């Protein structure tokens, strides 16, 4: 994995900006750099041997950013990044994948917090797990959805507590922060955190230690922080519901995940990835795939995943056009919805009993006069009836 690039020397801001569009950077002045395991870019070539002796992973000398970028990409072969990441982010969008790869490069430095943004259900938790699996697979991944806790229980869940710290604390409990030590801490729905807990967590991030509730002994921690939200945090800052200093500390690098309606070209890839979890194979007709692409997916990838599971439970393995994906169903008037339901139920019974009036009437609990009215209204004229 390509670590951050250290720039030695007095390069101009345009040079740094050019490189920062492709690689994570740590801007260090000459003579103050810890170069072990790092990629070093410098203007003068006279210290190359010394830098390699100090453990530099690679050293490049040039005053032209285009040459540096080309050499680094060629040497480290970006395919080594994109191939494993593409196993977790199913997309045909090269620009989207490139942004994800850049996020992966930043996440390679555990001191750079990652903030994942996007609508509910678009895959933020899945992407956080992918970052961890690709970069720190042997370390713990500890996730916490902040909306699942009340204000009182959340503080205890985060920091842990000593026995007797508060009413009901009948035993000592290790908190999420301690469990994440040495690994990745993923905090979902970070926008739900109270201002008081934002202040306390900010202190933990900066000082790398905390006190469990009821304890006078500090606990040292060091974890890579990944957080996620579907809230507009900048708006919450304006409304004084979110601390600006906490926001800037969280967003060492932020990655905006696209909603599924903006990447409908990826639906077939996602369906194939879901299929790998099932032994029963589903076949989607072109009509079904077209209805998938027309739908706006308010629940995003999570909604698509749930629908795939539902289809796995149906009798037929051939999936045709899905009428349940019609838009704006709830915007229809009550008479319109009743009419559609009446039509669907009548068609079902009509086909089940091969159009036999007596059996259809018995199944629906209607009179023959109602049957003939619905037949004319729903099924149309020209049907051959079997009077039995």
SS3 8: strand
Residues 128 and 188 in one domain: yes
23-47 burial code (b ≥16 CB/10 A, e <16): bbbeebeeeebebeebbbbbeeeeb
Residues 43 and 129 in one domain: no
Residues 205 and 250 in one domain: yes
What confidence tens digit (pLDDT) does each residue in 234-268 have?
A: 999 999 999 999 999 999 999 999 999 999 999 99
What local confidence, expressed as pLDDT, does residue 29 receive? 45
Question: Which stretches of the chain score pLDDT less than 70?
Answer: 1-4, 9-13, 20-33, 43-49, 52, 57, 62-63, 67, 70-83, 164-165, 321, 323-337, 379-388
Residues 109 and 213 in one domain: yes
Residues 161 and 296 in one domain: no
Q: Is 229 left (phi over 0), alpha (psi -120 to 50) or beta?
A: beta
Does residue 387 sit within a domain? no
What confidence tens digit (pLDDT) does each residue in 78-105 have?
A: 444 445 788 889 999 989 998 999 899 8
| Phi, psi angle pair for 194, to nearest 5° | -70, 160
Does residue 386 sit within a domain? no
What local confidence, expressed as pLDDT, does residue 354 receive? 79
CB 118 within 8 A of CB 124: yes
Q: Which domain holds residue 308?
A: 260-325
Residues 233 and 345 in one domain: no
Residues 160 and 207 in one domain: yes
Q: Which of 238, 256, 274 is the last residue of a domain?
A: 256
Q: Which of 286, 309, 325 is the last residue of a domain?
A: 325
What local confidence, expressed as pLDDT, does residue 151 receive? 73
Does residue 148 sit within a domain? yes
Residues 166 and 278 in one domain: no
Does residue 384 sit within a domain? no
Residues 42 and 94 in one domain: no
Residues 225 and 304 in one domain: no
What local confidence, expressed as pLDDT, does residue 224 receive? 94
């Amino acid at each position: 994995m390509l670590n951050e690039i250290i720039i030695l020397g007095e390069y101009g801001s345009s040079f740094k900006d050019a490189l920062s569009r492709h690689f994570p950077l740590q801007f260090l002045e000459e003579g103050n750099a810890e170069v072990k395991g790092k990629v070093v870019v410098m203007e003068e070539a006279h210290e190359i041997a010394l830098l390699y002796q100090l453990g530099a992973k690679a050293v490049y000398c040039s005053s032209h950013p285009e040459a540096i970028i080309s050499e680094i990409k060629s040497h480290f072969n970006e395919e080594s990044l994109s191939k494993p990441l593409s196993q977790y982010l199913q997309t045909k969008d090269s620009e989207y994948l490139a942004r994800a790869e850049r996020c992966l490069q930043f996440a390679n430095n555990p001191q750079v917090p990652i903030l994942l943004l996007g609508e509910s259900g678009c895959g933020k938790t899945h992407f956080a797990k992918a970052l961890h699996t690709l970069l720190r697979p042997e370390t713990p991944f500890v996730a916490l959805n902040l909306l699942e806790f009340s204000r009182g229980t959340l503080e205890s869940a985060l920091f842990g507590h000593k026995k007797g710290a508060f009413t009901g604390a009948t035993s000592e409990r290790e908190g999420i922060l301690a469990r994440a030590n040495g690994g990745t801490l993923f905090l979902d729905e970070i926008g739900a955190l109270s201002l008081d807990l934002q202040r306390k967590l900010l202190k933990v991030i900066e000082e790398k230690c905390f006190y469990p509730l009821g304890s006078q002994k500090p606990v040292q921690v060091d974890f890579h922080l990944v957080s996620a939200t579907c809230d507009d945090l900048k708006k919450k800052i304006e409304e004084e519901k979110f601390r600006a200093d906490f926001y800037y500390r969280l967003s060492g690098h932020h990655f905006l995940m696209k909603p599924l309606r903006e990447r409908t070209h990826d639906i077939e890839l996602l369906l194939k990835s879901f299929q790998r979890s099932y032994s029963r194979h589903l076949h989607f007709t072109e009509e079904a795939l077209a209805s998938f692409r027309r739908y706006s997916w308010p629940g995003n990838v999570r909604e698509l995943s749930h629908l795939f599971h539902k289809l796995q439970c149906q009798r037929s393995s051939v999936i045709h056009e899905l009428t349940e994906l019609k838009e704006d169903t709830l915007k229809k008037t009550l008479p319109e919805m009743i009419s559609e339901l009446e039509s669907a139920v009548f068609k079902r019974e009509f086909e089940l009993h091969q159009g036999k009036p007596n059996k259809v009437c018995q199944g629906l609990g209607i009179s023959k006069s109602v049957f003939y009215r619905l037949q004319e209204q729903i099924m149309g004229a020209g049907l051959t009836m079997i009077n039995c």
